[in-house]
Amino acid sequence: MSRDTRFVLNHLTELEELAEEVLTVKQQIVDLDKKRNQNREAIRALQNKKKKTTQEGDKKTNQKEWVCFGNTFMKLPQSKTQDMLQEDQNSLDQEIDKLHNELRPKVSRLRELEGLPEAKGFDLKSLTKEEAMAIHR
């Protein structure tokens, strides 16, 4: 095999592997985002149920909710359930942010290997809550 052929083959192999990594990370982000949305819906449903119970004057303080963990259903106190969902939500947010940060250099490298110009604005990062609040003041 000639040197040029090996170079082209190595280049295409690297390009294909990197493209596969990018697609895998994007799919992980989509999957985690679906789970995050389901958690958000569950948290909102618990908040609405709690609000409705207080409006009706129901004095049950130890209400329990059914929660599904894999293939198992458990009945847990509502406050504990909400706390667990919120912790899960926070860890999902962190994992999604981590994956987004890993994705940026991979996409830049992929564009470079494809011979495309650098994507303008792709490396932008969103404002933090503090920065957004400072702007609105």
133 falls within a domain: no
Predicted local confidence at residue 122, as pLDDT: 67
Domain that residue 93 falls in? 3-119
* pTM for the structure as a whole: 0.75
Q: What is the CATH number of the domain that holds 7?
A: 1.10.287.370
> For 42-83, what is each residue's pLDDT tens digit?
999 988 888 777 777 665 556 888 888 788 998 988 888 999
127 falls within a domain: no
> For 75-88, what is each residue's pLDDT tens digit?
988 888 999 999 99
> For 102-131, what is each residue's pLDDT tens digit?
998 899 889 888 888 877 776 677 788 888
DSSP assignments along the chain, one per residue: --HHHHHHHHHHHHHHHHHHHHHHHHHHHHHHHHHHHHHHHHHHHHHHHHHHHHHTT---SS-EEEEEETTEEEEEEHHHHHHHHHHHHHHHHHHHHHHHHHHHHHHHHHHHHHTPPPPTTTT--PPPHHHHHHHH-
